[in-house]
């Protein structure tokens, strides 16, 4: 009975003239439909005397904040044997979603860190490789347009994009010095 009554009220909100984002012509105010639904669905049980369960009826709430606890998982070879197959299969399923340059940076960083036992060295090499890949990507965004004057006496070149040291060869090749 209660669920049917609330469903009828919830589905008929638009029939009583309350729509999302519509403005009242007299007051020029907007009544958001979720707010109207909350008010109506709260008012119905209160005024009809319907007994609706509340959070307080479900049990007593703790008066203290929860404590931060580190899980008691043994860090040994057995734990790694359990985790490793899932980690490998999940990473192989998602590796195609990551760009190849980022994958190369991740693998190189991990490889250098494991070989040298130095996280700082691995991260630094990863940053350098990432910068090189970024520079390679940014050099492909240089656009050079040339136009001749009306009497063909001189050329005007317009450059758009980032000019960095890797894009100098393409930049110089675009000029016609004849």
- In tens, the pLDDT along 87-136 reads 888 888 888 888 899 999 999 999 999 999 999 999 999 999 999 998 88
Q: What is the pTM of this model?
A: 0.45
Residue 128 · residue 111 · CB < 8 Å: no
Cα separations (Å) of 21 from 12, 13, 79? 17, 13, 55
Least confident of 26-30, 63-67, 132-136: 26-30
Residue 109: how many CB atoms within 10 A of its CB? 20
When computed from its CA atoms, the radius of gyration of the chain, rounded to whole angstroms, is 33
pLDDT attached to residue 126: 96
Mean pLDDT of 72-83: 89
> Six-digit token pair at 88?
């490998």
């Amino acid at each position: 009975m209660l669920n049917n009554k609330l469903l009828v009220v919830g589905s008929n909100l638009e029939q009583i003239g309350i729509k999302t984002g519509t403005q009242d012509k007299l007051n020029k105010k907007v009544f958001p439909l979720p707010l109207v639904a909350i008010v109506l669905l709260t008012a119905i049980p209160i005024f009809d005397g319907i007994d609706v369960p509340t959070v307080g009826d479900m049990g007593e709430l703790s008066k203290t904040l929860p404590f931060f606890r580190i899980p008691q998982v043994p860090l040994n070879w057995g734990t790694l044997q359990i985790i490793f197959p899932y980690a490998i299969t999940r990473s192989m399923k998602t590796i195609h979603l990551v760009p190849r340059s980022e994958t190369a940076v991740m693998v190189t960083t991990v490889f250098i860190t494991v070989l040298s036992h130095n996280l700082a060295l691995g991260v630094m090499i990863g940053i350098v490789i990432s910068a090189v890949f970024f520079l390679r990507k940014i050099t492909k965004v240089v656009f050079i347009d040339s136009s001749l004057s009306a009497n063909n006496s001189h050329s005007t070149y317009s450059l758009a994009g980032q000019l960095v040291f890797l894009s100098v060869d393409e930049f110089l090749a675009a000029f016609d010095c004849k």
